[in-house]
Amino acid sequence: MRRRNNSFKNILTLMILSIIVAIGAFIYFSPIFEKKKPTVSFLNNGYWNAKDKLNIKLEDESGIKSYKISFKVNDANIEVQNKVLESKQNKLSIDINSIKLDQNVKTIKLAVEAYDNSMWNLFRGNTIYKEFTLNIDRKRPLARVITNSYNIKRGGSAAVVVEVKDENLKEKYITFNDTYKFELIPYLKEGFYAAIIAWPVEVEFDQFDVVNLVAIDKANNVTVSKVPLYIKDLKIKNDKLKISDNFINKVSIPVLQKSDMEIPSSNDEIFIKQNRFLRAKNVSTIRDESIKNMSKEMLNNFSINPFRRLSGSKTFAGFAEKREYFYEGQKIDEAWHLGMDWASIKRAPVKISNGGTVIFNNYLGIYGNTAIIDHKLGLQTLYAHTSKLNVQKGDEVRKDDNIANTGSTGAVFGDHLHFGVLVQGIEVNPIEWMDKSWIKTRILDILSEAKQEIRRSK
């Protein structure tokens, strides 16, 4: 009898243990008992102007059950949100409005506490608590224009010298029509900057809006100062060009092939792909390479000689020619020609007018074999369609160096040089930069005038 009782007890014990293990396994492995804490994301660099909304993101696989958000100011705890959610939400984006703070408060803490819907932790769920320190900065950056060129012409350039200061400065730049950005180059002293800016020729005269100096600090305080400029229009030359099958077969197709682009089935599509889409890609490369590789070191002096025409050459195309392309009597595309085309003899030596650093040296689609030289202050020159490049990226070149020979590489038939002047990657009117008087009055005198004020500053 005792043996039966003992066997029964052993079986019962085993069953109870099995149930306990099963319950334990269920609790441990079941999704409703998940053990991961909610995650808190706060995309902030540690600075706040006490005006802008703050944003907290909460995530949890079992869903957020409740959360509480408060500010810790000195010894006070200011609760701003305390909410229990009625429905399951795996992701929450929470905006936190500004609060009134004493002007003497320089640092506060943002505290976030959240619970999830898990049955873990005796059905209370998983919890997370995080604090984020915020440095309060209500002061806008100092951003003022010291001097600038008197005017700017469509497709042309202008010089600007500014002062920008803030102990928590994040960004500073000049904008054209709030669309194009120009980086500022340190000039003479800390807190002072210079830039050459451009009016892109595709922006028409009546579309000119404003040129602004913009400064933004880490707390997102913003100062915007207008750069005062008189504006002048540019006479645009309109050309109508017929595209032949011969050009498409001997120029467009090889250029697309060398640029690793697929060849469309029809001739008009082939030309459009070369002239519109490959051109846009090439122009983007020029802009990116120019900005990435231009000198951004502090500038103490800047001088530039007028750029000279290719020796013994004739001009076959100029800046700001708006071209319409026709194939079999139908207009199929249009594009701007934004440089000077000079031709003399085949494979003529290309000697440069100003020294600088080679920042690009490669085959570039419609431009063919191309070199770009940086002359500092965001000013660069471009030499395209060359048959041979005699320099490498990173080379320091001097005035009158023979950097290349003219050719017919890229989307052209005849041997010539395409010469372009770039301002932070935007092609501008070379005629201005070939004029000694223009360079002096519009660029060098502006820098010299600002230099006097900067040297007098403390």
Token representation of residue 358: 């080679």
252 and 196 in a single domain? The answer is no
297 and 183 in a single domain? The answer is no
Residue 124's pLDDT is 67
pLDDT tens for the chain, 458 residues: list them: 555 566 656 665 655 555 554 444 444 544 555 668 888 999 889 999 999 999 999 998 888 888 999 999 988 899 999 999 888 889 999 999 888 888 889 999 999 999 988 765 655 678 899 999 999 999 999 999 999 999 999 999 999 999 999 999 999 999 999 999 999 999 999 999 999 999 999 999 999 999 999 999 999 999 999 999 999 999 999 999 999 999 999 999 999 999 999 999 999 999 999 999 999 999 999 999 999 999 999 999 999 999 999 999 899 999 999 999 999 999 999 999 999 999 999 999 999 999 999 999 999 999 999 999 999 999 999 999 999 999 999 999 999 999 999 999 999 989 999 999 999 999 999 999 999 999 999 999 999 999 989 998 87
Residue numbers of the domain that contains 93: 31-136
Residue 14's pLDDT is 58
424 and 450 in a single domain? The answer is no
Residue showing tokens 């079999």: 328
223 and 305 in a single domain? The answer is no
- DSSP per-residue letters across 78-125: EEEEEEE-SS--SEEEEEE------TT--EEEEEEEEEES--TTTTT-
Residue 25's pLDDT is 45
Residue 456's pLDDT is 87
130 and 148 in a single domain? The answer is no
Asked, for residue 156, whether it belongs to a domain, the answer is yes
Residue 24's pLDDT is 47
334 and 265 in a single domain? The answer is yes
368 and 252 in a single domain? The answer is yes
Question: Other C-beta atoms within 10 Å of 271: how many?
Answer: 25
Asked, for residue 23, whether it belongs to a domain, the answer is no
> Which residues does 151 contact at the CB level (< 8 Å), separation at least 6?
158, 229, 230, 231, 232
305 and 361 in a single domain? The answer is yes
207 and 261 in a single domain? The answer is no
Where is the domain boundary, 76, 101, 136? 136
172 and 280 in a single domain? The answer is no
Residue showing tokens 């995650």: 39
Residue 417's pLDDT is 97
252 and 355 in a single domain? The answer is yes
318 and 368 in a single domain? The answer is yes
pTM of the model: 0.86
Residue 76's pLDDT is 87
Question: Looking at this protein, which amino acid is placed at residue 121?
Answer: N
